[in-house]
Structure 1
C-alpha cells in the first residue's frame, strides 16, 4: 500500500469510507451512536466538499470549499481523539488519526498556496 500512489481525491474518499466503517462498528449505545453519527458526517463531508472544490471556477470559490473540507477534517480528527479516549474501536483509530493529520496538512498547504 505504501508503494501505491493515491491522488488527493482518492485519499479523501478512502478516508471517508474508513470513517464510515468505523462509525458503523461503534457500540450501539448513546455515546457510540452520537459520535458515530458525527464521525459519519464530518468524515464524508471532507471528501464531498473537496469534490465540490474541484468543480469551482475561481480561486476564491476553491478556497471556500477547500476550507470547509479542512474544517470537516479537523472535526473528524477531534472526534477520533475522543473515541480513542473512550477506548472505542481498535488500531483503526490510530491509523485514521494519522491519515487525518496528513490530509489536514495537505489541504492547508493547498489553501495557503491558492491565496
Structure 2
C-alpha cells in the first residue's frame, strides 16, 4: 500500500516535468496503474476485515476520483494509441 501510494505522488511530479509527449503519456500510465493498485489495497483491507469501511470509505472515494481524473487525462493525451 505504501509503495503504490508513494509512487503515485512521485510519478505525478515526474509527469509535471515530462520532457516529451511520449514521456508524459508513459508516466501518466504508470500513475493510473499505481493509483488503481492503491485502491486495490484499500479494498483488500476492507474485504479482509482488517479495517472497517467507515474508516476507509472517504479515502477510497478520493482515490477513485483521482483514478478517474488520471484515466481521463491519459485518454485525452495525443500519444494514446488505444483510440
Tell me if TM exceeds 0.5.
yes
Give distance in 2, aligned partners of 1:104 and 1:78: 12
Name 2:81's counterpart in structure 1: none
Query: Could you say which residue in structure 1 is the equivalent of 2:75?
Result: 112
Which stretches of structure 1, 4 residues or longer, exceed 3 Å deviation after superposition? none
- Structure 1 residue runs without a partner (length 5+): 1-38
- Give the TM-score of the pair, scaled to structure 2: 0.85
Higher normalized contact order (CA 8 Å, seq sep 6+, divided by chain length) = 2
Structure 2, unaligned runs of 5 or more: 79-83
Q: 2:13 aligns with which of 51, 54, 57?
A: 51
* Aligned residues: CA RMSD: 1.1
Give the paired residue count. 77
- How far does residue 82 in structure 1 lie from its aligned partner after superposition? 0.6
